[in-house]
Chains A and B, each alone.
Chain A
Amino acid sequence: MRRTSVLLALAIFGGGIGTAAAQTMSYAEAISQVSTVCRNDIARFCRGVPLGPRLRACFDANEARMSPQCRQTAQTVYASITRRAAAQRDIGEVCSADIMRLCGTSFADANLVECMAGLAPQAMSPRCYQTFMDTGWATERTRR
């Protein structure tokens, strides 16, 4: 299952560089989908509502009235954003054992992403691997 979704993500995002593919969208890509697909719905139902928690609340409150395309996009986008943010917040804890064992470094070291991206997926615990994929860091490698 995981492998197919990785392949799917590769197909969708085209040219996932390196070993891993993103399973969540970048925040820029995610929110720009809302701004384009939901342009008319925002003008109708959420005019003047600021980007942030109030816009999300407005989407929730008007879900039934919104166009199917916007509704679908907003659901996908907010799910992706939430998942990526949770992964970026939690990866230090989720992966601490794997990081110490496989990379010999502590969290938030600039070399950490390089190390993790170079590991075989099965080397990490499934939850750590999934979380790492969800952060999006594997495809936005540290360049120096």
Chain B
Amino acid sequence: MKFSHILAAALVASAAATAALAQQGINSSQMATSLAGVSRSGKLSLTGAQMRQAVLDNIRNYPGALPSHPLSFPELEGLTQIVVEVDFDFNSDVIKLSSYRTVGAIADALHHPLLLGYGFLVIGHTDSVGGRAYNVGLSQRRAEAIRTALIDPFGVNPAVLEAVGMGEEQLRDPAHPTSGVNRRVQLVNVGKKFCFGRSGEQFVCP
């Protein structure tokens, strides 16, 4: 996959919806709207720690060069989410300069009034190059690198962001496991975390 286009954002409510919007000027407003349209009501019971454990369990229970058993999280399936391409240096968690704009656009979207107070999972995925356990670590560090940049300088509240590394356990194109389409960042709206009072003060939603 070419790194030519800065961003491919697509609604992934159904896995078939691959009509990616590749464009030079990223429309963060569109991103925000895609991420809003609220999710199932009720709080997500699944934690980031549980997801990380499920990833490790999947490698232990189904060993092999490639994941023979695709990991799924039914809890996430009804949630509003987008997929974004962020490029990193090879084997590194350093975001390429060519993806700075994309990270900025994610920050714009997360600060959109529609999304104020909502929590998000930042889920990193790799392709199948490299060992599975190694890729879990790499994708975790990459997801954390995005989270770190969103917090400082872009001012996203750390309490609404959780980074999870999925490694290669959820290949987007299992028939072509080394394809670049597998390398991606998934942003999942996990529901409202903070509410606002009449004086604009923020508090944990009851």
Q: Which residues from chain A sit less than 8 Å from chain B, CB to CB?
A: 26-32, 34-35, 39, 42, 48-53, 56, 78, 81-82, 84-86, 88-89, 91-96, 99-100, 106-108, 110, 112-113, 135-137, 140-144
Contacts and interface: CB of A to CB of B under 8 A. Distances in A.
A92 B198 CA distance: 9
B149 interface: yes
Interface stretch (B57-65, B123-131, B150-158, B172-180): B150-158
7 nearest interchain CB pairs?
A92-B200, A85-B155, A28-B104, A32-B101, A27-B104, A35-B100, A28-B105
A92 B196 contact: yes
Given A32-B100, A42-B97, 13 more contacts: A26-B28, A28-B28, A35-B101, A50-B94, A50-B145, A52-B152, A81-B154, A92-B199, A93-B199, A95-B200, A106-B196, A140-B108, A142-B112
A56 B93 CA distance: 17
B91 interface: no
Interface in B82-118: 89, 92-95, 97-98, 100-105, 107-108, 111-114, 116-117
B113 A112 contact: yes
Contact of A34 (B100, B152, B155, B199): B100
B202 A92 contact: yes
A140 B28 contact: yes
B119 to A, nearest CB: 14
Contacts of A106: 196-198
A52 B196 contact: no
Contacts of A140: 28-29, 108, 112
B196 A108 contact: yes
Contacts of A135: 111
B100 A51 contact: yes
Contact of B104 (A26, A88, A99, A144): A26
B170 interface: no
B117 A50 contact: no
Contact of B33 (A49, A96, A113, A144): A144
A93 B108 CA distance: 21
A52 B114 CA distance: 25
A85 B154 contact: yes
B153 A52 contact: yes
A88 B111 contact: yes
B93 A78 contact: no
B26 interface: yes
B12 to A, nearest CB: 21
